[in-house]
């Protein structure tokens, strides 16, 4: 599938810029909280994650209804235009060093991300043939992880020592504008369900979508598989920095290298899944990925159990010259590649199985389930820690 196709490239670019900007803002906010002298920093950081993910519970249903009722491209364009205003709020927050205003901007980005979620995956079957969906999903999944990583790293670098607020503000606005311009190039799709009535009760619409998802065994299976992928991903990414620092003795640069390895490996796994599929829905790849996920996670746990970490903070050269450093890197890469093999065919199947009139709402219900799995996983990990 040609990535430069007008049916795919604008959506791909829009999603990449949006994921980058979301994580750039969130990381810059975290650095301001940690090093800006705010009281209750740990609680505020936890609250920041909750504020960003909460709209997925409440607004994914509305986003699915809007995407099915109206032209998905037009809805995406209006959402991304509104995102420019939200980016402006973030700029005010950075210049005034106001945590409250930045929290408001983060909530705005979370709302737009929740409403945009059903569009970004629901629109693919409108523009692409079924045999192109595995490759398209592989590109979207891999690029999303890379955008998350790039936004996180860039946000951390630019916000060090209180950062250059003008430069940070320029980046936030530039990527918001890039999102909108990319959305303007998305070809129209028409309405999937022109007679659909948008419900004023967003809780009722979300519940109805989840019941629809549960009533179809194939869609419910695909939703659970997708949610498990994001559960594993958020647990791995949250545990990776303390693992590298406390178990291996790595410094900040070493943590960054491991994050790069993990994100690139997800892209490699997604690409392998697309190559194996060759335009088909091959669910055996999901089963293989699931088995490999368990094996690599088990091997990683055995490898770090009871080891004595190196004293002090060591850079990538020292860590990767050790057997444990290389072993952990291989296990993390294997885990990420397995994740790519696992998710791509399953999500392509969900897109194919969902009917045209309810596709966006099906994706919205999957997003609600994803948010529930991720939130539950972070709570369980926090209790275990």
Write the DSSP string, 169-187: HHHHHHHHHHHHHHHHTSP
Residues above pLDDT 90, as percent of the chain:
20
pLDDT for position 161: 63
The dihedral formed by the CA atoms of 29, 31, 32 and 37, expressed in degrees to the nearest 10 = 140
pLDDT for position 364: 82
Neighbours of 190 (CB within 10 A): 12
CA atoms within 13 A on the CB side of 246: 7
Q: Is 312 left (phi over 0), alpha (psi -120 to 50) or beta?
A: left
Cβ atoms of residues 151 and 21 within 8 Å:
yes
Q: What does the pLDDT average to over 197-206?
A: 78
Closest-CA residue to 109 (of 40, 222, 17, 21): 21
Using the predicted structure, report yes or no on whether residue 37 has a pLDDT greater than 60: no
Query: What tens digit of pLDDT does each residue of 155-190 get?
Result: 877 876 666 788 888 999 999 999 999 999 988 877
Q: Which residues contact 88 (CB under 8 A, 6 or more apart)?
A: 173
Both structure tokens of 376: 């539950």
Q: Is 162 left (phi over 0), alpha (psi -120 to 50) or beta?
A: left
pLDDT for position 87: 94
How does residue 153 score in pLDDT terms, banded at 50, 70 and 90? confident
Neighbours of 72 (CB within 10 A): 30
Cβ atoms of residues 20 and 146 within 8 Å:
no
Using the predicted structure, report yes or no on whether residue 201 has a pLDDT greater than 70: yes
CA pair distance 88, 92, nearest whole angstrom: 6
pLDDT for position 89: 94
Q: What does the pLDDT average to over 7-36?
A: 83
How does residue 91 score in pLDDT terms, banded at 50, 70 and 90? very high
pLDDT for position 39: 60
Both structure tokens of 169: 């503000």
Closest-CA residue to 10 (of 257, 244, 182): 182
Cβ atoms of residues 247 and 307 within 8 Å:
yes
Both structure tokens of 42: 């740990």
pLDDT for position 299: 92
Q: What does the pLDDT average to over 99-127?
A: 86
pLDDT for position 95: 87
Q: Is 279 left (phi over 0), alpha (psi -120 to 50) or beta?
A: left
Neighbours of 287 (CB within 10 A): 15
Closest-CA residue to 125 (of 358, 365, 351): 351
Q: What does the pLDDT average to over 136-140?
A: 78
Query: When comparing pLDDT for 74 and 201, which is higher?
Result: 74
DSSP H helical ranges for the chain: 9-35, 41-69, 72-96, 99-122, 124-127, 133-158, 165-184, 202-215, 217-242, 252-277, 284-304, 316-320, 323-353, 359-384
CA pair distance 288, 291, nearest whole angstrom: 5
Query: When comparing pLDDT for 70 and 133, which is higher?
Result: 70
Both structure tokens of 337: 């590649």
Both structure tokens of 344: 């791509």
Residues above pLDDT 70, as percent of the chain:
93
How does residue 45 score in pLDDT terms, banded at 50, 70 and 90? low
Q: Tokens 């979300």 sit at which residue?
A: 206
Using the predicted structure, report yes or no on whether residue 126 has a pLDDT greater than 80: no
Using the predicted structure, report yes or no on whether residue 210 has a pLDDT greater than 80: yes
Q: Which residues contact 368 (CB under 8 A, 6 or more apart)?
A: 56, 57, 60, 61, 206, 209, 210
Using the predicted structure, report yes or no on whether residue 309 has a pLDDT greater than 70: no
* Phi, psi angles (nearest 5°) of residue 68: -80, -35
pLDDT for position 290: 93
Q: Tokens 């045209």 sit at which residue?
A: 356
Both structure tokens of 117: 């979620």
Both structure tokens of 87: 């980016």
pLDDT for position 120: 78
How does residue 67 score in pLDDT terms, banded at 50, 70 and 90? confident
Per-chain mean pLDDT for the chain: 83
- Residue-wise over 197-220: b if at least 16 C-beta within 10 A, else e? eeeeebeebbebbbebbeebeebb
* Cα radius of gyration (the chain): 21
Query: What tens digit of pLDDT does each residue of 212-261 get?
Result: 888 889 899 989 999 998 888 888 877 777 778 777 888 767 877 887 88
């Amino acid at each position: 599938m040609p990535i430069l196709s007008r049916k795919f490239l604008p959506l791909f670019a829009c999603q990449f810029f949006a994921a980058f900007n979301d994580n750039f803002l969130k990381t810059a906010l975290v650095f301001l909280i940690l090093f800006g002298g705010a009281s209750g920093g740990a609680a505020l950081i936890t609250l920041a994650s909750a504020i960003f993910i909460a709209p997925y519970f409440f607004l994914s249903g509305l986003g699915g209804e809007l995407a099915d009722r109206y032209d998905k491209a037009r809805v995406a364009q209006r959402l991304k235009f509104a995102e420019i205003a939200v980016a402006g709020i973030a700029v005010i927050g950075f210049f005034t060093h106001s945590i409250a205003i930045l929290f408001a901007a983060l909530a705005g980005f979370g709302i737009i991300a929740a409403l945009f979620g059903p569009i970004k995956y629901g629109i693919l079957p409108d523009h692409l043939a079924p045999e192109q969906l595995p490759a398209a999903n592989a590109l979207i999944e891999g690029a999303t992880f890379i955008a998350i990583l790039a936004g996180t790293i860039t946000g951390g670098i630019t916000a060090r020592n209180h950062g250059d607020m003008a430069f940070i503000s320029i980046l936030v606005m530039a990527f918001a504008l890039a999102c909108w311009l990319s959305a303007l190039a998305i070809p129209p799709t028409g309405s999937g369900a022109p007679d659909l009535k948008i419900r004023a009760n967003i809780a009722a619409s979300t519940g109805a979508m989840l019941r629809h998802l549960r009533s179809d065994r194939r869609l419910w299976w695909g939703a659970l598989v997708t949610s498990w992928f994001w559960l594993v991903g958020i647990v791995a990414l949250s545990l990776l920095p303390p693992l590298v620092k406390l178990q291996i003795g790595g410094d900040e640069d070493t943590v960054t290298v491991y994050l790069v390895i993990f994100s690139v490996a997800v892209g490699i796994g997604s690409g392998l899944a697309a190559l194996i599929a060759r335009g088909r829905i091959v669910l055996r790849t999901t089963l293989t990925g699931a088995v490999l996920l368990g094996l690599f996670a088990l091997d990683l746990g055995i490898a770090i159990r009871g080891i004595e970490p190196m004293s002090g903070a060591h850079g990538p050269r020292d860590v990767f010259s050790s057997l444990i450093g290389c072993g952990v890197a291989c296990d993390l890469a294997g885990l990420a590649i397995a994740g790519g093999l696992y998710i791509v065919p399953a999500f392509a199947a969900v897109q194919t199985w969902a009917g045209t009139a309810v596709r966006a709402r099906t994706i919205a219900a999957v997003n609600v389930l994803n948010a529930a799995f991720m939130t539950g996983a972070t709570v369980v990990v926090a209790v275990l820690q």
